[in-house]
Amino acid sequence: MRKVILTVALALCGLVLMAQGRVSTRKYILNDFQDKITKVVLPGSDLLDGALRQEVVQSWTLSPFEFCTTSEFEKLKKSSNYYFLLAGSVQFKGETQPSLVFLTLVKGGPEAGEGTTGMHEVISLPLCAAGISTGRELVYLGAMVEAVQTFTEAAMESEKAAYLGSEWFNRIYSREGKMMAIWMSRDDIDSSVKAPAKYLDEDFRIVSEDDSDGRYLSGDFNTLCSYVVAPTNPVPGSWCYKMLFEANSHRLFYISRHRISDTRGAGFLDGDLRKIARAR
């Protein structure tokens, strides 16, 4: 079981979350989502608090929402009247400290124990490395909020989607992403990839991080931009997550993960590039 700690200033830990086991009626569990208030837990960092508040106000439409503090979350989490959207850092097996921050949606209820132990996890998406801010997490935070909402809506309508979890997003790439331009940051490609050019075409480009993020920030039409979340100081067995977001809609189109090892570092691997290129 993974241990998740609600972040303060993106990494300071004060609340333990636990990975949730699967249940047989995930779609049914969500049938009250639009009737309940989603409490957005502000972690206490001026930077993240402000950004999260702004993105939720601008884009959250699937349910009524209110903001709360971590202490209010502790008081309210056993109530079935609420869902909670929170940022938390994750410590995986083999790691000595939390390594990644996730944006997670959970359902409140009397079964809630320490942290979010016992609570139903709807979706959890990687946001950034724990303990340090590069600024890129703020670029893509709005897309993460959108993705949580998009997945939750799909899971409310389909048991299959509810069980697929984050893998559900890859179906969007299979349908639509293959026809889009891709601007992938060269810093988002692992050094184990020796010949990335063989996967490229006229609309699949490897560019600087500034160029890739710039395309996203300018909202380019029909364009996917890369974002990678990996630990600052990974150890063998740490997880790396690789994503593609559409610039103008902020939709998540592709997400994959792998364990970091002596031969595989942080970033898109040959397998990711092959899969992305094959579908084009």
Per-residue pLDDT of the chain (280 residues; tens, 9 = 90+): 444 433 333 333 334 343 344 445 899 999 999 999 999 999 888 888 999 999 999 999 999 999 999 999 999 999 999 999 999 888 888 888 999 999 999 999 999 988 778 999 999 999 999 988 889 999 999 999 999 999 999 999 999 999 999 999 999 998 998 889 999 999 999 999 999 999 999 999 999 999 999 999 999 999 999 999 999 989 899 999 999 999 999 999 999 999 999 999 999 999 999 999 998 8
Find the helix or strand (DSSP H, E) in which 149 lies. Answer: helix 136-157
CA 242 vs CA 188, 213, 225, 228, 245: distances in Å: 8, 15, 11, 5, 10
31-36 long-range CB contacts below 8 Å, 24 or more apart? 31/156, 33/62, 33/63, 33/83, 33/152, 33/156, 34/62, 34/63, 34/156, 35/63, 36/63, 36/64, 36/80, 36/81, 36/82, 36/83
Q: What is the pLDDT of residue 91?
A: 87
pLDDT of residue 24: 55
Cross-strand partners of 12:
8
C-alpha to C-alpha distance for 99 and 111, rounded to whole angstroms: 27
Residue 66: count of CB within 10 angstroms of its CB: 11
> Please, which residues bridge with residue 66 across strands?
39
Q: Which residue carries 């938390």 as its tokens?
A: 88
**pTM of the complete model:** 0.88
In the DSSP assignment, the letter for residue 63 is S
